[in-house]
Amino acid sequence: MATAQHPAAPTVKRGVEPLRAAQGNTFILRKLHSLLGIIPIGAFLLEHLLSNFEALKGPAAYGAQVKFLNGLPMVRVLEWVFIFLPILYHGLYGVWIWLRGKSNIVYYPWAGNWMYTAQRYTGLIAILYIGQHVIRQRFMGISLPENPYAAFHKVQVELQNPWMMAVYIIAMIAICWHFSYGIWLFAAKWGITPGATARKRFGYVCAALGIALVVIGLASIWAFVGGKYPNVPENPQVTYLTAPAIPGAIQV
């Protein structure tokens, strides 16, 4: 009695699918999506983290950094061309890729599938957080471009809400993860790290970078709530901004 022959299960290969040419507009759009995640969005993230790190030096240093950034030539054009529009495209196209993709973490629970899923969720957290953060800090309340030294107060007040504190911490970890793993994906898909060994070694580098960025980000958050600079006013006096009061000194 003959037995029915079951078709062989498809072979699932490990690794990262490279970006291939001759795939129509999708190839170009994915290339652009991948590139924008590193330049300029990744570069802006690094700059933003380092600028926020100035908060550890106090309201004066933080306000001076905000003033410097808003004093750059054609700063509003730079904002839209190199920050807002790239983030909008990268975020929306990333969601579109997510909706069309499949992680297969149930049937193939490998690290790559879990990383794929984590990358999508952290990207969603990032785009939602960035949206509300830009609206609240850039377009609501006191205008920081015209009042840069009010920046410390504005962030400090927002972080006094425990829910917003939780949002900041979760978003910081998610964004740093998304960027660090995004660098690993970029190197793999663009052929910078060919082979499993190169990808594994570069993975350690990206993991170290992600941890370092999280530490910098959380330290910046602590600068606003740690108690060293409590209740900074919206319009701090020059004497307060320049240096803490010295006992016995005459202030003008």
Q: Do 194 and 213 meet the contact criterion of CB atoms below 8 Å apart?
A: no
Nearest CA among 83, 93, 177 for reference residue 138: 83
- Per-residue pLDDT tens listing for the chain (252 residues): 555 555 555 554 444 555 454 455 788 899 999 999 999 999 999 999 999 999 999 999 999 999 999 999 999 999 999 999 999 999 999 999 888 865 554 444 566 778 888 999 999 999 999 999 999 998 899 999 999 999 999 999 999 999 999 999 999 999 999 999 999 999 998 999 998 899 999 999 999 999 999 999 999 999 999 989 998 888 775 545 544 444 444 333
Distances 27 to 21, 153, 176 between C-alpha atoms, Å? 6, 45, 26
- DSSP letters for 115-159: HHHHHHHHHHHHHHHHHHHHHHHHSSSS-TTT-GGGHHHHHHHHH
Cα angle for residues 222, 224, 229 (degrees, 5° grid)? 115
* pLDDT recorded at residue 249: 41
* pLDDT recorded at residue 234: 82
* pLDDT recorded at residue 23: 53
**Hey, what CATH class is 25-104+114-232 in?**
mainly alpha
What's the predicted TM-score (pTM) here? 0.81
Query: What does residue 24 show for φ and ψ, rounded to 5 degrees?
Result: 70, -155
* pLDDT recorded at residue 103: 54
225 three-state secondary structure: helix
Residue spans per domain, the chain: 25-104+114-232
* pLDDT recorded at residue 235: 77
